[in-house]
Amino acid sequence: MYINDPQFGNIVDFDQLRQSILHLYNALLPDFDMHRSLQVGTELYGDEPDVMIAAGASMLAWMTIIAAGEDEIAEELKDSLFTLGWTEEEIGSDLLSASTRAAPLNDDPDCVDYHLKGRKWLINNSYHADYHTIVAKTDPDSSGPRSLSIFLVPQSSCKNWQRLETHVLRRMVLTSFDIDGPGRLLGKVGHGLQILQRMAMPSKYQCAYVGINLLNEAIPASIEHLSKKRIFNENPINFSNVLRQMYNIVMGAAVLNFIYYRALALSASNFLQFHGVMLKSWLLLRANELLGQNLLVVGSKGFLADSVIGRNAIDSFVLPVFDGHYTINTLMTAKHAKRYLGARRRANVAERMATLRHGLAGSSSGDPIRANSRVLRNPDFFDYAGYIEDLALPIDLDARRIVTSVQSLTDELNHRDLATDPEHRYKLGALLHWMEALLAACELWKATEEDEYLNAVVMQHNAFVNQFNQVISESALGTGFLPLMRQGALRNLEAPRDFLLRLYRVAQQFSSPREAMAK
């Protein structure tokens, strides 16, 4: 998977990647089976994040061609490596300020041949790619969503590559480079942003998949290490403080696993976008935190170069910003607040449990590239508190108070003219993510019938409450604070290693269709 390149050192073997990537493209289409394509990626590239992200970037760029309606070009170039040529150094994720220009080569109104000129920055695969999907403007004075177009640019139109060294994923090759040459229009002029939005949704699931794999490598490795290491003639896992920390980490990671596979199982529904946005922002940030805590518990050995514990903690920071900053995704969620909090439809617990238990065995992704974007922007929310009540948890969780309190908070923000302020829009979007995580934790308990996960529910409740109370405190709002809940006691354990690993495996069962069907 890696080679020692005379120019770049130890990097991804892009020639090997080019030879295998066809299998990844074929796994995705024609049925648009996202989970199958991710499984094929794991089979081909293991759990190596440098290679998986390099392959994922090429696949997403190839999907951009399909999102533009250029299926014949996509089929013809299936043996090629691609890049996502979006970002420029001065603008970051503000694509509408792109300075790269595209001029038609003739006066034909249907002309698809253009000359592109500009510079792109922080582009993965770019030095070794065959083609680049480039965001550019045909009118330098234009602005707004219809100012962008997408072009397919061959490697021969690019020059002056400069590698950008990074602190993360150091075996990838990210560069800045100049474009000065021919390219082909993909789709229609001015439809670039629409094409990117169609393509970008699967990327949220793919980035989350890598993040979950980082967790699932590092946390069991920590449990094993703490079960073998000796301090004061004892294994650290047997110390109550270490066990408590690892218990909390396992509980948090179990919920993240379930949230990911829950989103995938429901991705054929109109919740595709809502869940995808949460994966790309909330879930990946939580993965960062858990991997960091996991590294601190393990200590010095986690910093060694051959340790997945430290490597995964560091590499995880790239994922929330891979295709747009996590704040943008959270702001997208804030617009759902009124409908999310006010929904009255009663969801059927038995139907959702059947979907979640069998999810990956019988689900399909719903083809997000060709899905109706208007439907995806308006998911069919249901009565949040009523659903949690119907789950019949044997703990005193007051979901109605949660909904009422968040509604009171939004009312106060509106009254104080703060609801459109970016700070409070972000905070409101984050609170909805925390509420959805609590809902997922409740479903995790119901779907697994594992009573230990009642503590995971309490942890998610308390994490939400802390965020909610912090919003009130920071903005000096009058909305009342919410109280915390008490966890069940962590019992004395004779075999803490086996206990922690079993809890983690229970949450991971939803990643396997066979295990899910056998449940």
Q: Residues 232-245: what's their mean pLDDT?
A: 96
Encode pLDDT of 133-163 as tens digits: 999 999 999 988 899 999 999 999 999 999 9
- Average pLDDT of the residues of the chain: 90
- C-alpha to C-alpha distance for 64 and 323, rounded to whole angstroms: 13
- C-alpha to C-alpha distance for 24 and 111, rounded to whole angstroms: 32
Domain over 2-188 is classified CATH 2.40.110.10: yes
Paired tokens of 279: 């994966």
Residue pair 40/56 in contact by the 8 Å Cβ criterion: no
In this structure, the number of other CB atoms found within 10 A of the CB of residue 86 comes to: 26
3-state secondary structure of 285: helix
- C-alpha to C-alpha distance for 508 and 99, rounded to whole angstroms: 45
In this structure, the number of other CB atoms found within 10 A of the CB of residue 146 comes to: 15
Structural domain boundaries in the chain: 2-188, 197-518
In this structure, the number of other CB atoms found within 10 A of the CB of residue 143 comes to: 11
Cα 17 to Cα 8, 57, 122, 131, 164, distances in angstroms: 17, 12, 20, 14, 21
pLDDT attached to residue 517: 32
Among residues 99, 84, 128, 127, the alpha carbon closest in space to that of 324 is found at 84
Cα torsion angle, 33, 34, 37, 42, sign? negative
**227 band by pLDDT with thresholds 50, 70 and 90:** very high
Q: Which CATH superfamily is domain 197-518 in?
A: Butyryl-CoA Dehydrogenase, subunit A, domain 3 (1.20.140.10)
Encode pLDDT of 369-399 as tens digits: 666 667 677 899 999 999 999 999 999 999 9
Q: What is the DSSP letter of 77?
A: T
pLDDT surpasses 80 at 322: no
Higher pLDDT, 103 or 209: 103
List of E strands, 145-201: 149-154, 158-163, 174-186
Adjacent-strand bridge partners of 118 = 179
Among residues 402, 432, 218, 403, the alpha carbon closest in space to that of 314 is found at 218
Paired tokens of 416: 């104080």
